[in-house]
A and B are shown apart, each in its own frame.
Chain A
Amino acid sequence: MKRPKLLNSKNIAILVVLAIAIVLPLFLRTNQYVLFLATTVLLYAVLASAWNIIGGMAGQLDLGAAAYVGLGAFTTGTLLIRFNLTPWVGMFIGALLAMGIATLIGIPLFGFKVKEVWYALSSSALVEVFRAIFMMWNKVGGPTERYLPFSAEGPRSWYLMRFNTYVPYFYIMLALLVVVFIINHRIRYSKLGYSLLALGEDEDAVEVLGVDSRLCKLKALMIYSFVAGLVGGVYGCIYGYLHPSFFSTDMSLEVVILGIVGGMGVTYGPLLAAIFLVSFREYLRASLSGMFPGKGLEGLYLMVYALILIVVALFQPRGIAPLIKRGFLKLKSFVGVK
C-alpha cells in the first residue's frame, strides 16, 4: 500500500481542526477552566494516540500507560527539585528512562510470548509495582507530596515550566499530539506498521512469513512508552506536585478506553474519543455532582458515564471513528468533493 500524500482531503480537514485548536486559547485566555479541560483532553488524546501504536495496531492490550507517565513525571520533577534541571530537558530524560524500563520489561514479556489477557495483567501490575516502589522510596517519592517550585511569570516561569495560565500547557500538548499523529501516520504506512497490523490480526501467521513479531512489538512499546514519559514530565508540571498516586490504574484504563472507543488502529480515533468522553465526563461531573448536595447522589455522574460507555460498546463496537468517517464521507459527497 502506498503512503497517501500528506495533503489529501482528510488531512486538510485535520489541518483545519489544528488551525482552530491553535487559535482557541486566544479566545479562551480568561477562561482558565475551559483551557484546563482542553489541555486535559489533549493530554489524554496524546496518551491514547501513543497507545494506538501498541494497542490499536499491534493488538496488545497494554494497561501500563500510567507507569510510564509516572516515571516521566518523577524523573522530570526530581531533576528539577534536586538539580534545578529545567523540565524542558528533564522530560526527555524521563521519557528515555520510561522507554528503557519498557524495553527491559518488553524483552522478557515478548520473548516468552506473553500476550492477550496475560499481557494486560502484566502491564497493569507494572503500574501497581511502581506505585508501591515509589511509595516506599522516600528519597524520591514517599507518601507525602513533593511540590515543584513555582514562578508566576517571566523567564523563571518558562525555565520551571510552571505557568500561571494553562495556555502554554495547551500548546505543549497540542505539539505533542501533532508529533504523535505524524509518528502514527509514518508507522501506519511503514513496514513496521504493516507488520504490527498483521500481527494484531494473527501473530502466528505473521511469524510464518518471516516477520520478527517480538522485535515489532518491542519497537511499538518503546515508542509508546517514550511518548507517555514525555507526557508525564508535563503532567507533573501542570499539577505542580509529585506523588506515587500518579501511578494510577484508573489513568491506564482511561487511556485504553479512549483508544478502544476511538477505534482501534485509527490514527485520529483517540483524539475524537478524548474530545467526546473526557469533556462529557467533566460536563457530567460539573453539572451533576453538586445538583443534590447532601443527598448521597454525588456519584450519579459516574453511573451515567458508565452507561454511556456500555451503550457505545454495544452499538458501536468498532469505536466512534468509523461513525465519524461515514459522516465525513457523506459530507464530502454532499459538497461534491471527490
Chain B
Amino acid sequence: MSTKVLKVLFVVVMVGMMVLSACGPAPTPQVVEKQVEVTRIVEGQVQVVTATPEPVQKAELPKEIVVGVVQPLTGWATVFGQEGVIGAEMAIKHINDAGGIKSLGGLKLRMEVEDAGDKPDTAKLATESMINKHHPVAILGMYISRFVMAASEVTDREKVILIADALVPQVTQMGRQYLFRPGPTAWDHGALAYKFVREVAADNGVELKNMAVLNEDSANGRANTLGATEAALMDQFPVITALEYPYDITDATQIVQQLKAANPDVIIHTPYFNDAIVFGKAFKEVGYWPKFLMGAGACGYVDPASIEALGETAEGLAMTFSYNPAKNTPTNKKFVEEYVAKYGVIPTEGAGMNYYGAWVLAEALEKSGQMFPDDPLKPENLRAAFMALDLTSGPAVESYPSDHIKFDALGDNEYPGVIVLQVQNGKPVVVYPKEVAEAKPIFPNPHYKP
C-alpha cells in the first residue's frame, strides 16, 4: 500500500468517525404517564378520549441516595470549600439521624466529595468524575460562581440537580434547567450592604455625604458593587470613587492611598479571602479609615480565619452573609453548637449555605416521594419537586436567613435573606436586620479618626 493511499484512507476514516459521533446518543424511550389523551378519527369525526396505558412499573429505589459535594479543596479558594464540605456533612448526618427521607421509606443520604480545584476547567472535570463514579441525584457546590457556570453545563446535560452556593446573578441566567440557588445573589448582598450603612448611620446620628465602591475584579466583585451602586443611585446618594483590583493582589497600599485622597465617608468593599486580609493590613499601615468600611459578598473580614489573620484591625469591620448563625431555631442552634464544639468557631458562609442547601434537597426529595411515588428520583420528577417547594417551616427554613424558600423559574429563591455580621470584641456577631440582631452595630468604625 502506498503512502498516499494510506493517508487518504486515514482522512476518510477520521471524517467518517467524526460524522458518526455527531449522531448523538440513541434516544431514550419516553415514560408514559398515568393517563394520556388520544386523538382519533371515528367515522370522519375527530374525538379525544382518555386512555389508561399499561400500568407504570415502579422504579426500584437505591439503598442510599448519593449526594455529591464538589467544592474547591485545593488552591486559593480552599478555605471556602472546606467549610462547605463540613456544612454539607453535618446536614446529611442530621437528616439521616432524623430518619432520612420519610416519603421514600426512610432512605438515608450518603455524601461523596470531590475537589473542584482552582479553575473552572478543574471544576468541570471534577463534576464529570463525580457523576461518572457515584451517580448522585444532586450535587452541592462549588462556591466560586465561574466554577458553577462551567460545571452546570455538565449537570444539565446529565440531568443532575446542582444546588449552587455561588452568588453571581448570571449563574441562574444561563438557561440551566437543573440548577437551583437557595441563597441570595451578589446583587442582594451589595444592596443590603448599602441599606445597612445608611440605616445604621441615621440611627447613630452620623451624617454620610458620599461613598466609594471597591471590589476584586471577578464577576462576584462586580455584581456586589453593582447592587450597592444601584441602591445608592436610587437614593441619589453620590458614589465618588469606584476601584477594582485583581483578587490575587499582594500589596494594596497604593489603592488605599487613592481612597484616602478621595476621602469617602463610606467604602463598600467586596473582597475574597486573602485580599481582604491584604486590604485590612493596608488600611492599618496607611492609617486611613473611613467612617465605615463595609464588606459585601460574604467572604473575608468577618469570618473566623480573617479575624485571626487581622487581629485588632478586624474590630468593627462588617460584612454581609447568606447565612445567619444566630437564627434562634432548633435546627440552626443544633448545627451551630455542634460546629462550635467540633471546630471552635461559628459556621459562616460556606458551611451555612451548604447546610441549608442539603436540607432544601432533603425537602425536595421528600416532596418528590409524595408527588411521584412511582419514580421519585427520576431527574425530571425531582426537578418538578424542587419547583413545587414552598417552604415556610421545617429544618431548611430554620437554618435559612429568611423564613421562606420558593424557587422561581430561573432557580433562584424568591425570598432571599441576607444578614450583616460585625466583629465585636474579636468575635463575629449578627447586627442586622434589627429583628434578628444579637447586638447593636458599632458605628462609626472604631479605628476612624475625624
In whole Å, how far is B275's beta carbon from the nearest beta carbon of chain A?
Answer: 13
Q: Could you say which residues of chain B place their CB within 8 Å of the CB of A282?
A: 125, 129
Instruction: Render B345-370 as a binary contact track against A, CB cut-off 8 A, 1 for contact.
Output: 00000000000000000000000000
| Interface residue SS majority, chain B | helix
Taken together as a complex, chains A and B put the C-alpha atoms of A175 and B17 apart, in Å, by 11
A36 at the interface (CB under 8 A from B): yes
Instruction: Render A140-162 as a binary contact track against B, CB cut-off 8 A, 1 for contact.
Output: 00111101001011000010000
User: Which residue of A25, A36, A298 is within 8 Å of B21 (Cβ)?
Assistant: A25
Assess whether B86 is in contact with A294, with CB atoms less than 8 Å apart. Answer: yes
A324 at the interface (CB under 8 A from B): no
Assess whether B149 is in contact with A286, with CB atoms less than 8 Å apart. Answer: no
Q: Could you say which residues of chain A place their CB within 8 Å of the CB of B89?
A: 293-294
Assess whether B115 is in contact with A285, with CB atoms less than 8 Å apart. Answer: yes
Assess whether B74 is in contact with A147, with CB atoms less than 8 Å apart. Answer: no
Q: Could you say which residues of chain A place their CB within 8 Å of the CB of B120?
A: 145, 239, 241, 243
- 8 Å CB interface, A236-262 against B: 239-241, 243, 245
Assess whether A22 is in contact with B13, with CB atoms less than 8 Å apart. Answer: yes
B388 at the interface (CB under 8 A from A): no
Q: Could you say which residues of chain A place their CB within 8 Å of the CB of B133?
A: 33, 286
Assess whether A294 is in contact with B25, with CB atoms less than 8 Å apart. Answer: no
Assess whether A144 is in contact with B222, with CB atoms less than 8 Å apart. Answer: yes
Assess whether A31 is in contact with B132, with CB atoms less than 8 Å apart. Answer: yes
Assess whether A296 is in contact with B82, with CB atoms less than 8 Å apart. Answer: yes
Q: What residue in chain A is nearest B175 (Cβ atoms)?
A: A150
**A: number of interface residues (CB 8 Å):** 50
Assess whether A298 is in contact with B218, with CB atoms less than 8 Å apart. Answer: no
Q: A145-B149, A286-B114, A286-B129 are known contacts. Are A6 and B73 too (CB-CB below 8 A)?
A: no
Assess whether B218 is in contact with A143, with CB atoms less than 8 Å apart. Answer: yes
**B: number of interface residues (CB 8 Å):** 52
Assess whether A7 is in contact with B114, with CB atoms less than 8 Å apart. Answer: no
Assess whether B131 is in contact with A33, with CB atoms less than 8 Å apart. Answer: yes
User: Which residue of A31, A158, A178, A289 is within 8 Å of B114 (Cβ)?
Assistant: A289
In whole Å, how far is A39's beta carbon from the nearest beta carbon of chain B?
Answer: 11
Assess whether B21 is in contact with A167, with CB atoms less than 8 Å apart. Answer: yes
Assess whether A171 is in contact with B18, with CB atoms less than 8 Å apart. Answer: yes
Taken together as a complex, chains A and B put the C-alpha atoms of A240 and B407 apart, in Å, by 27
In whole Å, how far is B218's beta carbon from the nearest beta carbon of chain A?
Answer: 6
Assess whether B119 is in contact with A164, with CB atoms less than 8 Å apart. Answer: no
Instruction: Render B322-345 as a binary contact track against A, CB cut-off 8 A, 1 for contact.
Output: 000000000000000000000000
Q: A145-B149, A241-B150 are known contacts. Are A299 and B74 too (CB-CB below 8 A)?
A: yes
Q: Could you say which residues of chain A place their CB within 8 Å of the CB of B217?
A: 135, 142-144
Q: What residue in chain B is nearest A235 (Cβ atoms)?
A: B121
- 8 Å CB interface, A126-145 against B: 135, 142-145
Q: A145-B219, A241-B150 are known contacts. Are A171 and B21 too (CB-CB below 8 A)?
A: yes
15 A–B contacts from the bound complex (CB under 8 Å): A26-B20, A33-B128, A143-B217, A145-B120, A145-B149, A152-B157, A158-B22, A164-B157, A172-B18, A178-B10, A245-B119, A290-B112, A293-B69, A293-B85, A293-B113
Supplied contacts A22-B13, A165-B24, 15 more A-B pairs, CB within 8 Å: A32-B131, A32-B154, A33-B131, A33-B132, A33-B133, A37-B125, A143-B244, A145-B120, A145-B149, A150-B153, A168-B21, A178-B10, A178-B14, A241-B150, A243-B146
